[in-house]
Amino acid sequence: MRRTKEQAARTRADILAAAHNLFAEKGFEHTSLEAVAEAAGVTRGAVYWYFANKAAILDAILERECAPIEDLVSAISDESIDAPLQALARVTSETFGRIERDDHKRCIYAIFRQMSGPGVDGARQGPDLSGHARQFRRQLETVFAYAQRLGQLNPSWTPELAALGFNAMVTGMLEEWSQEAGAFDIGARGARVVALFLDHLGATD
pLDDT band at 182 (very low <50, low <70, confident <90, very high): low
Segments of the chain assigned to CATH 1.10.357.10: 66-201
pTM exceeds cut of 0.75 = no
CATH number, domain 2-60, options 3.40.50.300, 2.30.130.40, 1.10.10.60, 3.60.20.10:
1.10.10.60
Euclidean distance between CA atoms 102 and 175, whole angstroms: 16
Q: At what angle do helices 159-179 and 84-101 cross, to 10 degrees?
A: 20
Euclidean distance between CA atoms 205 and 15, whole angstroms: 51
Contacts of 92 (CB under 8 A, 6+ apart): 170, 191, 194
Q: Which CATH superfamily is domain 66-201 in?
A: Tetracycline Repressor, domain 2 (1.10.357.10)
CA-based nearest residue to 127, from 61, 180, 67, 39 = 61
Contacts of 152 (CB under 8 A, 6+ apart): 83, 84, 85, 202, 203
172 has a pLDDT exceeding 80 = yes
Q: Give me the pLDDT at residue 113, please.
A: 62
Segments of the chain assigned to CATH 1.10.10.60: 2-60
62-112 residue pLDDT tens: 777 767 777 777 777 667 788 999 999 988 888 888 877 777 666 666 666
